[in-house]
């Protein structure tokens, strides 16, 4: 393992959160046999030492949480880091607690390490923050955060009483979608909020076009003796304050992602990637898919 790779990020309360995890978006949707997704993917990752699993009540209408719950059965819960998310319309008084308890039941656990507001909705942030804080005080969650928040959303959140307890912000981030780099990451760094990068391998839709076929990406992958996917992941994890949760229902891909820990992109390689896929020079809406 590279001495340069930092395996955890320290949250504001001192909690150590793994920087490489497994996402479950698009799992439990019938694309593959459930046995393959549980045993050949999630459990392969768990057995290899990947302890962070990210899911949501939205994914497969709770099916992804049930899938993750079956995958973690028999493993030491205290060694795992489980993250789930609440729908915006469930993020208010009364409904958040019911959603949280339903997620816990599907996962087969009595607490979450992290609970996120999936995206902004009509319920006031002050109400959601109060509900999150109550759930934390009651021991149902260890930490809470948000997802799909941009810099103005984060500023508004931190202006709410208790809003500065937000532990992470989860946004789409990969080499082909670098909107978070314009102003959001700087703001989060200044306030001690790590970024959880979903779709770090550009799994979702057209944003993946051109990345895997890029001569620059291929050349760098060849130089490190890895696949193009691992270079995309290494790019996202080049910053010590970023957490990545690539999704896969294939054990080979899950285990291949572990090779990112041995990849140190050089300054010249980062410059080449930056030239081929530049960061935005102006503020732009964040991608969500």
pLDDT tens digits along 219-248: 999 999 999 999 999 999 999 999 999 987
pLDDT score, position 1: 60
Q: Is 118 annotated as a binding residue?
A: yes
Task: Please state whether 192 falls in left (phi above 0), alpha (psi between -120 and 50) or beta.
Answer: left
Indicate whether this model's pTM tops 0.75. yes
pLDDT tens digits along 83-97: 999 999 999 998 999
pLDDT score, position 36: 66
Compute the mean pLDDT over every residue in the chain, rounded to the nearest whole number: 93
pLDDT score, position 203: 67
How far is the C-alpha of 105 from the C-alpha of 117, rounded, in Å? Answer: 19
Which H/E stretch holds residue 81? Answer: strand 81-86
- Domains, in order of start, for the chain: 10-205+241-258 (3.20.20.100)
> Annotated catalytic sites, by residue?
59
**Which residues of the chain fall below pLDDT 50?**
none
How far is the C-alpha of 169 from the C-alpha of 193, rounded, in Å? Answer: 7
pLDDT score, position 2: 62
Sign of CA dihedral 59, 63, 65, 67: negative
pLDDT score, position 3: 59
Return the beta strands (E) in 91-143 as ranges. 114-117
Q: How many CA atoms lie within 13 A of 174 on its CB side?
A: 29
pLDDT score, position 167: 98
């Amino acid at each position: 393992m590279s001495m340069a790779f930092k395996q955890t990020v320290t949250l504001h309360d001192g909690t150590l959160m793994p920087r490489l995890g497994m996402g479950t978006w698009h799992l439990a949707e019938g694309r593959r046999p459930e046995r393959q997704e549980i045993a050949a993917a999630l459990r392969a990752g768990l057995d290899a030492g990947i302890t962070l699993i990210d899911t949501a009540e939205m994914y497969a209408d709770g099916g992804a949480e049930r899938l993750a719950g079956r995958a973690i059965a028999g493993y030491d819960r205290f060694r795992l880091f489980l993250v789930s998310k609440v729908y915006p319309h469930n993020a208010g008084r009364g409904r958040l607690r019911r959603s949280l308890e339903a997620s816990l039941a599907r996962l087969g656990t009595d607490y979450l390490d992290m609970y996120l507001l999936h995206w902004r909705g009509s319920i006031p942030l002050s109400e959601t923050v109060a509900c999150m804080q109550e759930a934390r005080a009651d021991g149902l969650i260890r930490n809470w955060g948000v997802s799909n928040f941009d810099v103005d959303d984060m500023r508004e959140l931190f202006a709410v009483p208790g809003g500065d307890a937000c532990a992470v912000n989860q946004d789409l981030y990969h080499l082909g979608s670098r909107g978070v780099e314009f102003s959001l990451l700087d703001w989060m760094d200044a306030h001690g909020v790590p970024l959880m990068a979903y779709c770090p391998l550009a799994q979702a839709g057209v944003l993946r076009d051109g990345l895997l076929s890029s001569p620059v990406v291929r050349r760098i992958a060849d130089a490190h003796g890895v696949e193009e996917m691992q270079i995309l992941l290494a790019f996202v994890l080049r910053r010590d304050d970023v957490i990545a949760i690539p999704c896969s229902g294939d054990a080979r891909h899950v285990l291949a992602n572990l090779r990112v820990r041995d990849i140190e992109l050089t300054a010249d390689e980062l410059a080449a990637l930056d030239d081929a896929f530049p960061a935005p020079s102006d503020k732009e809406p964040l991608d969500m898919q």
